[in-house]
Amino acid sequence: MVDYFLNLFADVSWLAAMPAGAQFLLAALLAGLPLFLFVAVNAIIAVYAERKVSAFMQDRLGPMGQGVGLHAGKWGLLQTVADALKLILKQDIIPALADRKLFILAPFIIFIAPFVAIAAMPFNQHILVADFNIGVFFLLAVGSVGVIGIILAGYSSNNKWSLYGAMRSAAQIISYEIPAALSILTVIMLTGSLQMQEIIKAQSGTIWGILPNWFIFNNPFTLLAFFLFFIAGVAETNRTPFDLPEAESELVAGFHTEYSGMRWAFFFLSEYANVFIVSGITAIVFLGGWQSPIPGYMDGPFWGLVWFFSKVVFLILVMMWFRWTFPRLRTDQLMRMCWKFFLPASLVNILGVGLWDLLVN
Amino acid sequence: MTESLDLELGSVQTEEMVLNMGPQHPSTHGVLRLKVLTDGEIVTRITPYIGYLHRCFEKHCENVTYEQVLPYTDRCDYIAAMNNNFGYAVAVEKLMDIKVPEKVEHIRVIVAELNRIASHLLAVGTFGLDVGAFTPFLYCFRDRERILDLFEMLCGARLLYSYIWVGGLSHDLPVGWVEKAYEFLDYFEPQVEEYNNILTFNKIFIERTADVGVLPQEVAISYGVTGPNLRGSGVKWDLRKDDPYSIYDKFEFDIPIGTGVVGTVGDCWDRYYIRVREIEESVKIVRQALEQLPRDGDVHEAIPKKIRPPKGQLYNRTETPRGELGYYIISNGKPIADRLKMRSPAFTALSCIDEIARGWMISDVFAILGSLDIVLGEIDR
Amino acid sequence: MNFNQLVEYINEQFRKEFVQTGEEVPADHISVAASDWKDFAEFLRNDEHLFFDAMMCITGVDFGEESDLGVIYNLHSMKHNHKLEVRITISRDKPVVPSVEKIWRIADWFERETYDMYGIEFEGHSDLRRILLPEDWEGFPLRKDYVFPTSYHGIDIPKMKEGWE
């Protein structure tokens, strides 16, 4: 999209007269603004969805409004708007003994990570802010920047609960990154490219004329890789059953115990942005991204957008389903699961895909 | 630079960290403070500090009449107020030698067992919450709500009933209550299966609770642990069966004990599962009591005009959802008790927390605390 | 064993004429001198036929402003399903009772509670501090001669209503 804007600028005389660096900055800004809006809107919709989904799972109604006046709107549609307003208006508290600079810095780092990551995500054939030739690698790398913010938040709060949350989070995210990356490696072995669009394009066509040629259906090892990646992804987003860093009933609120108001909202935004990213990567790498499930039909740019979002929403709903069904694991069990099961399984998986590629294809 | 290279592992200072859990903490079930000494995530010692909710129950009892003590008993164990009323009423009746009509006895057993179900539902739900499962909690509350509706029909109150009076009850059963109660039982019985599906036999839940916080028999007895916690350790001991009061000897029910189905006898899972099974047993008792309930009779018949027990003292105990609730009453013939001591089951249950939670991780402390099912109102009195 | 059998057994096995029997002695509890309590408690806990493995309750008592203090122990045997009440009376000036914390673990907290409310010292208790009241609380509230404080940390305590009954 940056290129698109740059091309646009070339046609406008007073813009073209600007130095190249300024042009690039402006183009990047214009491309980035929708991203920011997208992240915010995503969180608002996701929070509302989470409230409603959890309500239906728990045999209750969730936010509801009735009549006119200061209610949460019909079916509680304005609930998250009210939440956002509350968060903006809330007093911003920085604990007296906190490390002020790091305390203020941490939410931004946490927020930047998913924000940047979304830039490399293709929504359809054309909408893609930056098409890196190392797209997948970029996503994985940027995704783990957030952990630095979490550690900073936990450390700077000068609160023991926060510290525990941060330590758990660091251990957890770093551990689960390995099986996640190894699972994606299986797909990269098959496509031979790290570029997002290339990976999606490699999934066009059908298998035996029935199934779409998505990597989840490609061979049994990629199917396993799909599950490994998705579960590791859930673990990376710190959601139940892997929500140990913020374990509400144990660590109060983990690393963001001491945050309030807008600063806290950044954690919130980034959590839902991360959920979106994990679901997005899973959809792109294993479920064909914007590819239609019935190959050859309904695959224009508009339908691409629809298919991509429906896949993502489906995966987000699955994550919500997890969250409202499972209890939480313990730290050592979480680590054991990662190092003793996920890691060997994903290593075997790579071998399996290699052999499959060699023998079957 | 060279300095940091010289730094060897042995010279790194490590020390235990004191973690203050509570009094404001989401999972301490009230205002309980635990001073936890931790080595990383491992807990090395726990010192409980209680008394944040101390309301001078015993001092009050020495200053108000026997009738006026009753509402205070509600507020001790506010989760199972009926059972606390029951224990107090039985104790004073014993002291005064009052014989209560059959109908009153039946209604008492019915409401006490319904309250036991409600209390266990809360225990099961919050235990799920303690290990991170949110949904079972709301399922339990949904069903508990129906019991509270029944109680509301009875006496207008939903939490603090003061329903069981010395010698009788505050209100007779309203018209249609028995049918409503049957309706509830018919609805509720299949629900237990749902809890088992979503929580009891969940793999993660078993991982978290089986073999954790094992409370061996001898330790449990020595710590005076009673009720479901003791039965979870495999001791078949229930005052309703072993030292029957009221008319519990007329009903048929089992006493579930911990058998270590998924772990060791006396672990958190056992303590939890005992409660689920006790819910089923209580349903049985309520059914029997409803069937045998005499249709006519005056619930106010045996209520004394003035409660003035003769000189004497006694220790009377009853089984509440949390265990043995004892009242030690010393009367010197006045309408005010000379001394009224309440032995609360949660108090004794909490005292063993250091013994069983030592060496486990921080997450387990909450699982263990949740499995003991304490109510701070009763511990602090 | 019922109460009479218990008394008989104790008199036989523990010490001759340890428990007073007779018409005027009420047959529901055993009165013990504070000095004998520790040995007696060990006997009750460890004897095969008594085996009082559970302590149900410890109750502190104040018999009146001019009178003595008391401690009441309610014991129970899970194995034999019999129970026993033991009472100890001690002087108000020097309220000291040996601790049985090591014999029944729950006695730890019960004794702390009794100390908290009555100021009865339990000799040999490893950690005798207040349990329900704040650590800097003055006086022992359940004693009959307790004087209500007028303020606590600068907070006025409203005068108690008088004239109940």
Q: Which of A306, A251, A255, A265 is nearest to A283 (CA)?
A: A306
Q: Which two tokens stand for residue A144?
A: 């783990």
Shortest alpha-carbon distance between residue B164 and chain A (Å)? 33
Looking at residue A265, what is its pLDDT? 84
Rounded to 5 degrees, φ, ψ at B323 are: 135, -150
Beta-carbon contacts of A356 under 8 Å, excluding residues fewer than 6 positions away, are A219, A220, A221
Shortest alpha-carbon distance between residue A248 and chain B (Å)? 7
Match 């939903």 to its residue by tokens: B158
SS3 state of residue B113: helix
Q: Do B315 and C105 touch (CB under 8 A)?
A: no
Q: Which of B239, B327, B28, B350 is nearest to C105 (CA)?
A: B350
Task: Answer whether B119 touches C (CB < 8 Å).
Answer: no
Relative to beta strand C30-32, strand C83-90 is parallel
Beta-carbon contacts of A146 under 8 Å, excluding residues fewer than 6 positions away, are A109, A110, A113, A114, A173, A270, A274
| Across A46-50, A142-146, B3-7, B28-32, least confident range | B3-7
Q: Do C56 and B224 touch (CB under 8 A)?
A: yes
Mean per-residue pLDDT over chain A, rounded: 82
| Across A196-210, B29-43, B83-97, C95-109, least confident range | A196-210
3-state secondary structure B141-193: HHHHHHHHHHHHHHHCCCCCCCCEECCEECCCCCCCHHHHHHHHHHHHCCHHH
Q: Is the pLDDT of residue A126 over 80?
A: no
Residue-wise pLDDT for B114-124, tens only, equals 999 999 999 99
Mean pLDDT, residues B12-36 taken together: 82
Residue-wise pLDDT for C46-98, tens only, equals 888 888 888 888 888 888 777 888 888 888 888 888 888 888 888 888 888 88
Q: Is the pLDDT of residue A13 over 50?
A: yes
Looking at residue C165, what is its pLDDT? 43
Looking at residue B4, what is its pLDDT? 52
Q: Do B204 and A332 touch (CB under 8 A)?
A: no
Q: Do A329 and B204 touch (CB under 8 A)?
A: yes
Q: Which two tokens stand for residue B246?
A: 């009221």
Mean per-residue pLDDT over chain B, rounded: 86
* B204: nearest CB among A58, A241, A244: A241
Q: Is the pLDDT of residue C122 over 70?
A: yes
Q: Which of B306, B372, B377 is nearest to B342 (CA)?
A: B377
Distance from C-alpha of C57 to C-alpha of C44, rounded to nearest angstrom: 15
**Torsion region of C83: left, alpha or beta (phi above 0 gives left; psi -120 to 50 gives alpha):** beta
Task: Answer whether B42 touches A (CB < 8 Å).
Answer: no
Which value does ipTM take for this structure? 0.85
Shortest alpha-carbon distance between residue A330 and chain B (Å)? 7
Shortest alpha-carbon distance between residue B376 and chain A (Å)? 17
Residue-wise pLDDT for B316-344, tens only, equals 889 899 888 889 998 888 888 888 888 88
Q: Do C105 and B351 touch (CB under 8 A)?
A: yes
Q: Report DSSP letters for A93-138, one per residue.
A: ---TTS-HHHHHHHHHHHHHHHHHHHHT--SSSS--S---TTHHHH
Shortest alpha-carbon distance between residue C19 and chain B (Å)? 20
Q: Find the helix packing angle between A301-323 and A20-57, rounded to 10°.
A: 50
Q: Do C61 and B330 touch (CB under 8 A)?
A: yes
* B364: nearest CB among A57, A241, A330: A330
Q: Which two tokens stand for residue B333?
A: 């013939």
Specify burial of residue A158 (Cβ count, 10 A radius: 0-12, 13-18, 19+): middle
- Are the C-beta atoms of residues A284 and A200 closer than 8 Å to each other? yes
CB neighbourhood size of A193 (10 A): 17
CB neighbourhood size of B149 (10 A): 13
- Are the C-beta atoms of residues B17 and A164 closer than 8 Å to each other? no
Place A270 in a pLDDT band, splitting at 50, 70 and 90.
confident
Q: Judge if the upstream peptide bond of residue C134 is cis by omega within 30 degrees of 0.
A: no
* B324: nearest CB among C56, C61, C133: C56
- Are the C-beta atoms of residues B361 and B39 closer than 8 Å to each other? no
Looking at residue C162, what is its pLDDT? 59
Looking at residue B207, what is its pLDDT? 86
Q: Which chains touch A (3 or more CB pairs under 8 A)?
A: B
Beta-carbon contacts of A141 under 8 Å, excluding residues fewer than 6 positions away, are none
Q: Is the pLDDT of residue A71 over 80?
A: no
Q: Is the pLDDT of residue B261 over 60?
A: yes
Q: Do A247 and B134 touch (CB under 8 A)?
A: no
Looking at residue A1, what is its pLDDT? 62
Looking at residue B94, what is its pLDDT? 87
Place A67 in a pLDDT band, splitting at 50, 70 and 90.
low
* B221: nearest CB among C54, C133, C142: C54
Q: Which of A65, A196, A73, A66 is nearest to A129 (CA)?
A: A196
Task: Answer whether C1 touches B (CB < 8 Å).
Answer: no
Beta-carbon contacts of B9 under 8 Å, excluding residues fewer than 6 positions away, are none
Residue-wise pLDDT for B45-75, tens only, equals 888 888 888 888 888 888 888 888 888 888 8
Higher pLDDT, A84 or A228: A228
Relative to beta strand B17-21, strand B33-39 is antiparallel
Distance from chain centroid for Cα B264:
23
Q: Do C56 and B317 touch (CB under 8 A)?
A: yes
Task: Answer whether C61 touches B (CB < 8 Å).
Answer: yes
3+ Cβ–Cβ pairs closer than 8 Å linking C and A:
no
Looking at residue B1, what is its pLDDT? 43
For chain C, give the number of residues.
Answer: 165
Match 């057993």 to its residue by tokens: B109
* B131: nearest CB among A59, A325, A328: A328
- Are the C-beta atoms of residues B310 and B331 closer than 8 Å to each other? yes
What is the dihedral angle through the alpha carbons of C37, C38, C42, C43, rounded to the nearest 10 degrees?
-40
* B133: nearest CB among A164, A250, A326: A326
Place B2 in a pLDDT band, splitting at 50, 70 and 90.
very low
Among chain C residues, the shortest Cα distance to B313 is held by C28
Among chain C residues, the shortest Cα distance to B218 is held by C53
Contacts A241 to B, Cβ<8 Å:
132, 204
Cα end-to-end span (Å), chain A: 36
Q: Is the pLDDT of residue B141 over 50?
A: yes
- H or E segment to which residue C88 belongs: strand C83-90
| Across A15-29, B206-220, B244-258, B268-282, least confident range | A15-29
Looking at residue C161, what is its pLDDT? 61
SS3 state of residue B101: coil
SS3 state of residue B98: coil
Looking at residue C27, what is its pLDDT? 65
Q: Is the pLDDT of residue B198 over 70?
A: yes
Q: Is the pLDDT of residue B256 over 80?
A: yes
Task: Answer whether B231 touches A (CB < 8 Å).
Answer: no
Q: Which of A61, A6, A62, A68 is nearest to A31 (CA)?
A: A6
Looking at residue C160, what is its pLDDT? 62
Mean pLDDT, residues A300-305 taken together: 81
Q: Is the pLDDT of residue C28 over 80?
A: no
- Are the C-beta atoms of residues A108 and A259 closer than 8 Å to each other? no
Contacts A160 to B, Cβ<8 Å:
17, 19-20
Place B313 in a pLDDT band, splitting at 50, 70 and 90.
confident
Q: Is the pLDDT of residue B36 over 60?
A: yes
pTM of the predicted model as reported, rounded to 2 decimal places? 0.86
Strand order in the sheet with B17-21: B17-21, B33-39, B42-49
Q: Is the pLDDT of residue A19 over 80?
A: no
Mean pLDDT, residues A268-285 taken together: 86
